[in-house]
């Protein structure tokens, strides 16, 4: 079961491994449809939740995650963006054996090119996964880089704090633009709704600014960059909106 919209590869990878993705639509405000998930949990082997969610940036409350875990179904939490939210559900592992928390060094640590990540779960689940994991699935260089990054994480914390500051500016500036309706985000990106998403996307591209376009949807997503990049985006949006 996959609350949607979310990271598209969950569904794709499920199909690759002969799974049947059951997509459950998020509520209109992009919150988690907890009651529906709980009522249908018995029909699923796994509930896959990205928290904060991609592409919405919404952080789901811990009580909602616990309500789903209480059904007994296996819950996989993808916390790729958790550092930007200041919250993690790792503490729930002390109380639930049906939880797997996935972490990555691609986002907050800025190490996407090293393709490194890890998961935390009960000993029973880890032993089961170890039976089918590929031997030497991580190369030695990536593993050492990951160790060093975790041991010396002050750079990551400083970077995350800067992104949070820039996110606050970007969100506030977007709220002042006509025709732009940004969604409050707990990640390092902001989803915003607009009536002319394709035109805005193409106009920004001509200005050398690349954001995420969703075919057939009325929203776009932008990464929170440096302060200078955020100002450049806002200035470009002002020009484009005046033309539109």
- 133 conformational bin, left if phi > 0, alpha if psi -120 to 50, beta if neither: beta
CA atoms within 13 Å, Cβ hemisphere of 181: 8
pLDDT at residue 225 in the model: 95
- What's the number of domains the chain is made of? 2
What value does the mean pLDDT of the chain take? Answer: 95
Instruction: Please tell me whether residues 167 and 97 are part of one structural domain.
Output: no
pLDDT over 80 at 144, yes or no: yes
The domain containing residue 55 runs over which residues?
Answer: 2-151
Instruction: Please tell me whether residues 139 and 212 are part of one structural domain.
Output: no
Residue 233: pLDDT band (50, 70, 90) is: very high
Instruction: Give me the mean pLDDT over the 207-231 stretch.
Output: 96
- Give per-residue pLDDT as tens, 197-212: 999 999 999 999 999 9
Distance CA 76, CA 129 (A): 13
Instruction: Give me the mean pLDDT over the 5-25 stretch.
Output: 95
- Supply the CATH number for residue 161's domain: 3.90.1150.10
Instruction: Please tell me whether residues 33 and 132 are part of one structural domain.
Output: yes
Instruction: Please tell me whether residues 191 and 228 are part of one structural domain.
Output: yes
Residue 136: pLDDT band (50, 70, 90) is: confident
Instruction: Please tell me whether residues 77 and 147 are part of one structural domain.
Output: yes
Instruction: Please tell me whether residues 121 and 209 are part of one structural domain.
Output: no
Instruction: Please tell me whether residues 102 and 132 are part of one structural domain.
Output: yes
Sign of the C-alpha dihedral, residues 225, 231, 236, 237?
Answer: positive
Instruction: Please tell me whether residues 135 and 201 are part of one structural domain.
Output: no
Distance CA 243, CA 4 (A): 33
- Give per-residue pLDDT as tens, 66-106: 999 999 999 999 999 999 999 999 999 999 999 999 999 99
- Give per-residue pLDDT as tens, 125-135: 999 999 998 88
pLDDT at residue 65 in the model: 98
Phi, psi values for residue 77, rounded to 5°: -100, 120
Instruction: Give me the mean pLDDT over the 171-180 stretch.
Output: 96
Instruction: Please tell me whether residues 134 and 207 are part of one structural domain.
Output: no
For the chain, report the end-to-end CA distance as a whole number of angstroms. Answer: 40
Residue 244: pLDDT band (50, 70, 90) is: low
From 88, 122, 151, the end of a domain falls on 151
pTM: 0.92
Instruction: Please tell me whether residues 144 and 163 are part of one structural domain.
Output: no
| Exposure letters 168-187 (e unless 16+ CB within 10 A, then b) | eebbebbeebeebebbebbb
Instruction: Please tell me whether residues 40 and 89 are part of one structural domain.
Output: yes
From 151, 171, 200, the end of a domain falls on 151
From 90, 117, 151, the end of a domain falls on 151
pLDDT at residue 242 in the model: 79
pLDDT over 80 at 243, yes or no: no
Instruction: Please tell me whether residues 146 and 222 are part of one structural domain.
Output: no
- Supply the CATH number for residue 83's domain: 3.40.640.10
């Amino acid at each position: 079961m996959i609350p949607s919209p979310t990271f598209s590869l969950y569904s794709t990878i499920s199909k690759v491994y002969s799974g049947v993705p059951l997509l459950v639509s998020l509520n209109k405000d992009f919150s988690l449809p907890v009651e529906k998930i709980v009522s249908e949990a018995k029909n699923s082997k796994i509930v896959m939740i990205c928290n904060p969610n991609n592409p919405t940036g919404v952080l789901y409350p811990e009580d909602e995650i616990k309500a789903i875990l209480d059904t007994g179904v296996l819950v996989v939490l993808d916390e790729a963006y958790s550092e930007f939210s200041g919250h993690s559900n790792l503490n729930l592992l002390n109380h639930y054996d049906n939880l797997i928390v996935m972490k990555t060094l691609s986002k907050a640590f800025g190490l996407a090119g090293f393709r490194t990540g890890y998961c935390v779960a009960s000993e029973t689940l880890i032993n089961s996964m170890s039976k089918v994991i590929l031997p030497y699935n991580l190369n030695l260089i990536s593993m050492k880089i990951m160790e060093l990054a975790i041991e010396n994480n002050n750079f990551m914390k400083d970077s995350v704090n800067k992104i949070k500051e820039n996110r606050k500016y970007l969100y506030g500036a977007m709220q002042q633009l006509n025709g732009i309706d940004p969604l409050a985000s707990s990640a390092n990106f902001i989803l915003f709704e607009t009536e002319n998403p394709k035109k805005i996307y193409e106009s920004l591209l001509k200005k050398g600014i690349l954001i995420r376009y969703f075919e057939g949807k009325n929203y776009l997503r932008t990464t929170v960059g440096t302060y200078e990049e955020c100002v450049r985006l806002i200035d470009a949006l002002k020009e484009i909106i005046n033309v539109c």
